[in-house]
Each structure stands twice: as structure tokens, then as C-alpha cells.
Structure 1
Amino acid sequence: MRASNDAVADLVPVDVVINATLAAAWYSGSQTLKRSKNIMVYNCTTGGINPFRWGEVEYHVISTFKRNPLEQAFRRPNVNLTSNHLINQYWIAVSHKAPAFLYDLYLRLIGREPRMMKTITRLHKAMMVLEYFTSHSWVWSNENVTMLIGQMSQEDKKVFNFDVRQLHWAEYMESYCMGTKKYVLNEELSGLPAARKHLNKLRNIRYTFNTVLVVLFWRVFIARSQMARNIWYFVVSLCFKFLSYFRASSSMR
């Protein structure tokens, strides 16, 4: 996905927005006798007082879905955020289109209708809409929201809480992902053991595929070329020297 890891996501839970809207309506109604001629604007945002960046979003989403995987995952959960267009296109081709094409080819061979390329195409269209927002940050003033919180009683602050400074993003993202799993994808938590086994299976498949790829690379490029073998042995010897130096340094501490 094309995004800047340092860009502020400025996510706001929907219940926070609703509570802020209700509080703003209450405050406007209570100020009928001394209402200002200027229109009050309440920026219900998080970036200025409790920032959460896209790089952090990536980390927490992946961490949650690795601990609590989806039941019918096609691949292991992974996100690659980059602001570079060429790198982004590379990952789209390698991580999205190529696996989708191969899976559709498999579906055709067994007589089923291919569907993954259509799904990937729709996904990319949605991601392109978000690119501008995931690559930039904005600065919003929260002064009116802070003032509004100060006008409320302690009881109202609890019932209609919209103080985003109290948001704990790690917990929020885990709840968000688990809610998506349960209420959007209709996956019960009782299926987590089977989902974890499926994820381990996907991991083993990936490791096996990578091992086969390395062996083929060795046979095709390195084993047949003396120069390639010399370069390979040089790199391996450097790695061993580095490990030896690291072990020696660790033992001296």
C-alpha cells in the first residue's frame, strides 16, 4: 500500500464523533442568550493531541491478525507501506497480482470460476482513493473541542466521552481488528485454534517455497559459474567472520 509511515492517520472512533456532535448540540442550545455571531467549528480529530501514524497502524494490524488469524486466509497477514511509487508497484505485482493470477489459474484447472483477480482489482481501486490521505498529514485546531469538554459536568464527560487523549491505540486497533473478524466476516472466536493451525500451514508453505527458490537459484546461477561461486564463498566467509566477531565481543562483556 502506498503511504507514508510518518504520516498521521488521524483516525477517530465513530462513537467519539457522535458524542462530540451531541455535546456540541447541547452547548449550542444552552447558549441561546449569549450565542456568538461566529459559527463554532469543532474539529474532532486526534492528530494534534494523540497522534497515531500509519506505520503504527501497520504494526498493530499485523500483530493482531498474527495472534488472531482469519479462518480462511489465502496468505499470511502482511502489509508493506511505502511512499515510493515503483516499490509499491513491485509489491502489487509480486504480492497481489501474481498470487491472484496463479490461484485463478488453479480455479480454472479444477473447473471453478476465477475470482481473485477481480477481488484484487477492486481492492486496488479502493487503495488508490486512500493514497492521498495515507501519504499526507494535516494540522487541525482542537481549541473548541477542548473548550467544549471543559463546559461539561463530570457525569456528562463519562456518559458522552469524546476526549481522544484517553484513546489507547494498541487496544483500539486490536478491538477494531477483532470486531472486523467477528461482525464483518462473521468468524467466531471459537475458530481461532483452527485458524492458527491454518496460519502455521501457510507459514510452512512459504518457507518451503523460499527454500526451493534458493535451491533453484543456486543450481541455475551459482553452481554453474566459477565467478558466482567465488562471490558466494566471499559473502559467506564475511558472514562467518562477523558472527565470530560478534560472539567474541559478547563473551568479553
Structure 2
Amino acid sequence: MAMSASNMHVDETPSDLQNFYRNKTVFVTGGTGFMGIVFIEKLLRATEVKRVYMLVRPKREKSADERLAILFQNTLFDKLRATGVNPTDRIHPILGDCNQENIGISPQNRKLLINEVNVVIHLAATVRFNETLYKATCINVRATLDLIKLAKEMKHLEAFVHVSSAFANCVVHSIDEKYYNNKLSVSAKKMCELCDTLGFETTNKLEEALCKEYRNTYTYTKALAEEAVLSEGRSLPISVFRPAIVIQTYNEPLPGWIGNLHGPSAILYASGRGVLRVMFMKAYQRAHLVPADYCANLMLAIGWETAKRSKQECLKMAPPIYNYSNHDDNPLNWKQYISTIEDYGYEVALTKMIWYPFLITVDKKWLYLLLTVFYHTIPGYILDFLLVLKGKKRRMIELYSKIEKQSSALDYFIMNNFEFTMENTMALWNSLTARDKELFNFDLRSIYWKEYIQYTLKGMRLYLCGETPDSLPSAKKKYKKFVILHYTLTRLLFVGLFLLLWTLLKTFFFLIN
């Protein structure tokens, strides 16, 4: 049983949240993504949910069942499988695609969802900052509108949780749990109509004008999706979840599990390999990071809370919003996060590192550009030259170009200070029973950041780099060699620069005398 998989005694009475999800049918979009996988694992392990319908994009080379079978072989599900539960027993794929009209669901599957679904968790989105405006609108906005339309037909719907982003409304720096539709120049429906009328190329030409204040198509279309929830979904039992930057799991089901290479995890990975050495950021700015397993727990709690709203409350009040970000009582800054690379780099050394891992952070653009010449560009050309000598393809300068492009996209969010209020989130936490708080913990004040960041480093090594513990001794030897080489080279460069400067000064004084 799922109950035994959640570390409970058999004689314990199910909690409020477990009682709510027992025998429920849940429809999840974005379930194959990082946060979606963590959510589904917790749902299956901690509740006796009846069935989970999971939106899966069709692919020619593999059927939906084959894709799910591969997905559930992931080590993330080991704890669940150890209880005798097979994840695929309660998971049923629904072929569809958020890039298509009506999310690409067949009439038969649409009817199935209308008749059976109790809870909708809408996680699907394109998270690429540089996605075209047309495609981002289709996936993030139109799919939300289509799903709301479908939800209105669902006969047994009790809760709909729309997953947004804490930075969807980045046009303001102090973000409350409210809607900021006044910052948008068009509505969600109007934007979709524009896409239909103008087509792919012309719509994309509007990107600079429409998205300028939002910095990219991702935040702009996520803001439009929130407007869709308010304008089209308020008759539904629906809520908006706004997580900040979601990173590795803290505790469940594995410490430090990560399923993709995005955001801060990509920074750690690139730095851990000795590739990324300079970052443009304000090191003492608040790092709005949240663990994926805490997000999964909060989503489950939001679904339970949303189902308690009456039809009258849904019609009279705007759908509630739950901000989720770094808590004032347990703050974390970027310096604390990044310093772990140097503090624990040796303990999680990578066999694939190409140099001693370190990271310099600067908050002056001119200094950042100067340092990248010495720490990225020049070493990049040297390494590319060595690769050519070995008969291999040059790749370092191209890699640094990609790093610079991705870093530039993050500048606005790292260099500016954002504050988030979390009254609804904290009120929800305070409303839970002691048992639910233990089973579905999302209290950010309970995180021991130093320990957690160590988990993220170990998780990066194991789950992203695929380096098992038995490779650590050889990686540590390599680390020590690079330390010696790094400091030797650094000192030689300083001596060389000093001698060059001394020679120039001597020449200068000789000439004027």
C-alpha cells in the first residue's frame, strides 16, 4: 500500500491530506519534467490515490507506455518500488501536446477526463527564456486556457492547481500574493487571437515591444497565464502556485536528486568542472531557491485547501495565490550558495573536471567583461588549440559563448532584489495538523542550508554527471593536481605581470630623464 511507502506505522490513522487524496483521480500535465516527476513520486508514495492520468507527448520512436516505463526506472522511484508498489500500476498516459490546440487530446481521452478527474495539476510549460513569443504563447497561455475550458466540463472536479512562477510578475520587485494584470498590455485571450491572426513570424516580431519589461518570453507568458486563471477560471475551484527557483530535492525521496541542467544547478555543474570561473552577480543578494520536494508537498496541500472552497467563494473571490520563496526567517544569499564550490569541491570532485573549480563573482559589468577575457576567452582559445593538435573538434569558445548568452539572460534576476510576501502560504502551513506537517513538510524555515547545498553538490555529481562513489578517489587525485597547477600558474602570471610593469616603469623613467 502507498501508506506503508511513506514511512508510517500501519496502525496510524491517515492524515487530512491523505484522506483527501484517497481514491481520487488526478490529471497531471508536465509530469515528465523535473518538478512533475518529484510531485508524482510523492503523490504515489504518500497517498492512496486511485489513478493518475499523465499528459505525455507522442514520439515516433517510442510509445507513451514505453516512455513512462523508462521514466519510472529512474532511481527517484527506488524508495517507492521497495515497498512493492509499481508506479505504472496507477499511472495512465494521456497522449497530448501543449503546443497543439486543445492540448492535443483525442475526443475519447477528453471524455475520459471529463468523467473521472477530481484534481488537476497544471505543471506543463516551456521554461526556456529565449523561446519564441509564438511558441511560448501556445504552450504557456493557450494550453492554460484550453485546460481551464476542459476543467469546466469535468463532472467531479474538486481542485485545480495552476503552477506559475514567483518571477512571472518581475515588472515589480515587491511581489504580493495578488494579480498584476494592470502591467499587461493585452489579455491572455487577446494574445492567443493575435497569434492566430498574425502567424508565427509576425507574432515573434512583437516580442521586443510586448516582453521588454518582462525581460523574456517566459515571464511574460507566465504572467498572461495568470491573467487567464483570473479572467476565465474564477468559477472553478482553482489556485495559483508561484514557486521561485526550483532546485534539487532536500530530503525526499533522495537528498539532492536533480533531473535536468538548468539555473543554479547548471552554475554548479559548470563551475565544478572548472569551466565557469566568473559570474556577474551581487553575491550578497537574496537567493530565492526552493527544494523540489518541498514544492511537491506544497502543491498537494494547495490542492487539498482549494477543494474546501465553496462555489460561492469561487465566484466572489479571485483565485488564491501562493507565493513560495526564500523565507525571511531563514535567508540564503548567493555567496553562501556559491562558496560551497570551494568549501566542498574536494569532497565532490569530478573526474571530468578540466581545471581547478573556483568561481569569482563581481557586480561591475566592466570588471566582469575584463575577467572573462582572462578566465574564459584566453583559456578557451588555448584549449581549442590543444584540441586541434589532438585531431579533435574545437568546442571551448563556442561553449563560453553559450555560457555568456545564458548568463546574460539571468542578469536582471540576479542583480535586482526581489521580495515576496507569503501570507497565504504561511496560513496554509499553520492550518495543517502536526501529522500533515511531518508528512508534507514545506516550511522553508526548517532547511539547514549548509547541509542542503552539500546535498545538491553530491546530487549533481551522481545524478547529472553519472559519477559513482567509486570514482571519487581518482577524482580527488585529479583535483589535487589541478590545485597545484592552478596556484603555480597564477603565481607565475603575477610574477610575469609584475616584471612587465617594472620594465615599463623603468623604460618610462629612463625616457623622461
TM-score (norm 2): 0.42
2:327, 2:445 within 8 Å by CA — same for their partners in 1?
no
Is residue 2:453 matched to residue 1:173?
yes
Q: Distance in 2 between matches of 1:184 and 1:171?
A: 19
2:341, 2:358 within 8 Å by CA — same for their partners in 1?
no
What is residue 151 of structure 1 aligned with on the other side? 431
Q: Distance in 2 between matches of 1:87 and 1:225?
A: 24
Q: Which one of the candidate residues 285, 292, 295 is aligned to 1:17?
A: 295
What is residue 93 of structure 1 aligned with on the other side? 373
Q: Which one of the candidate residues 310, 316, 324 is aligned to 1:32?
A: 310
Instruction: Identify if the C-alpha distance between structure 1 residues 16 and 223 changes in structure 2 by more than 3 Å, giving closer, same or farther.
Output: same
Instruction: Identify if the C-alpha distance between structure 1 residues 184 and 63 changes in structure 2 by more than 3 Å, giving closer, same or farther.
Output: same
Q: Distance in 1 between matches of 2:460 and 2:499?
A: 45
What is residue 342 of structure 2 aligned with on the other side? 62
Q: Distance in 2 between matches of 1:221 and 1:53?
A: 38
Give, as a single letter, the amino acid of the residue that structure 2 aligns with 1:208: T
Please state how far the C-alpha of 1:227 moved relative to its aligned partner: 9.3
2:327, 2:444 within 8 Å by CA — same for their partners in 1?
no
SS at match of 1:155: helix
Deviates more, 1:123-132 or 1:26-35: 26-35
Q: Deviations over 1:191-246 (max 9, x none)?
A: 11111111111112123323443554566554897699xxxxxxxxxxxxxxxxxx
Q: Deviations over 1:26-55 (max 9, x none)?
A: 011123377462321111111434221111
Instruction: Identify if the C-alpha distance between structure 1 residues 215 and 115 changes in structure 2 by more than 3 Å, giving closer, same or farther.
Output: same
Is residue 2:284 matched to residue 1:6?
yes
Instruction: Identify if the C-alpha distance between structure 1 residues 211 and 79 changes in structure 2 by more than 3 Å, giving closer, same or farther.
Output: closer
Structure 1 unaligned blocks of 5 or more:
229-253
Q: Distance in 1 between matches of 2:467 and 2:485?
A: 24
- Greater RCO structure (CA 8 Å; 6+ sep): 1
Q: Which one of the candidate residues 24, 41, 44 is aligned to 2:324?
A: 44
Instruction: Identify if the C-alpha distance between structure 1 residues 163 and 220 changes in structure 2 by more than 3 Å, giving closer, same or farther.
Output: closer
Give, as a single letter, the amino acid of the residue that structure 2 aligns with 1:119: L
Matches within 5 A, 1:1-253: 1-32=279-310, 35=313, 37-214=317-494, 216-217=496-497, 222=502
Instruction: Identify if the C-alpha distance between structure 1 residues 66 and 87 changes in structure 2 by more than 3 Å, giving closer, same or farther.
Output: farther
SS at match of 1:6: coil
Task: Considering fraction of residues, name the structure with more strand.
Answer: 2
What is residue 249 of structure 1 aligned with on the other side? none
Q: Deviations over 1:61-100 (max 9, x none)?
A: 3322233211121111111111100111122111111111
Q: Distance in 2 between matches of 1:59 and 1:211?
A: 22
Instruction: Identify if the C-alpha distance between structure 1 residues 2 and 222 changes in structure 2 by more than 3 Å, giving closer, same or farther.
Output: closer
Please state how far the C-alpha of 1:144 moved relative to its aligned partner: 0.8
1:61, 1:173 within 8 Å by CA — same for their partners in 2?
no
SS at match of 1:12: strand
Give, as a single letter, the amino acid of the residue that structure 2 aligns with 1:5: A
1:9, 1:47 within 8 Å by CA — same for their partners in 2?
no
Instruction: Identify if the C-alpha distance between structure 1 residues 16 and 218 changes in structure 2 by more than 3 Å, giving closer, same or farther.
Output: closer
Q: Distance in 2 between matches of 1:130 and 1:99?
A: 24
Q: What is the RMSD computed on CA atoms of the aligned residues? A: 2.3
SS at match of 1:42: strand
Please state how far the C-alpha of 1:187 moved relative to its aligned partner: 0.7
Aligned residues: 228
2:461, 2:467 within 8 Å by CA — same for their partners in 1?
yes
Q: Distance in 2 between matches of 1:12 and 1:20?
A: 11
1:71, 1:195 within 8 Å by CA — same for their partners in 2?
yes
Give, as a single letter, the amino acid of the residue that structure 2 aligns with 1:24: I
Q: Distance in 1 between matches of 2:475 and 2:281?
A: 29
Instruction: Identify if the C-alpha distance between structure 1 residues 14 and 107 changes in structure 2 by more than 3 Å, giving closer, same or farther.
Output: same
Instruction: Identify if the C-alpha distance between structure 1 residues 210 and 146 changes in structure 2 by more than 3 Å, giving closer, same or farther.
Output: closer
Give, as a single letter, the amino acid of the residue that structure 1 aligns with 2:283: N
Instruction: Identify if the C-alpha distance between structure 1 residues 9 and 210 changes in structure 2 by more than 3 Å, giving closer, same or farther.
Output: closer
What is residue 234 of structure 1 aligned with on the other side? none
Q: Distance in 1 between matches of 2:312 and 2:439?
A: 26
SS at match of 2:457: helix
Structure 2 unaligned blocks of 5 or more:
1-278, 509-513
SS at match of 2:280: coil
TM-score (norm 1): 0.82
SS at match of 1:137: coil
Instruction: Identify if the C-alpha distance between structure 1 residues 26 and 118 changes in structure 2 by more than 3 Å, giving closer, same or farther.
Output: same
Instruction: Identify if the C-alpha distance between structure 1 residues 198 and 27 changes in structure 2 by more than 3 Å, giving closer, same or farther.
Output: same
Instruction: Identify if the C-alpha distance between structure 1 residues 18 and 100 changes in structure 2 by more than 3 Å, giving closer, same or farther.
Output: same
Task: Considering fraction of residues, name the structure with more helix.
Answer: 1
> % of aligned pairs identical?
24
1:20, 1:44 within 8 Å by CA — same for their partners in 2?
no
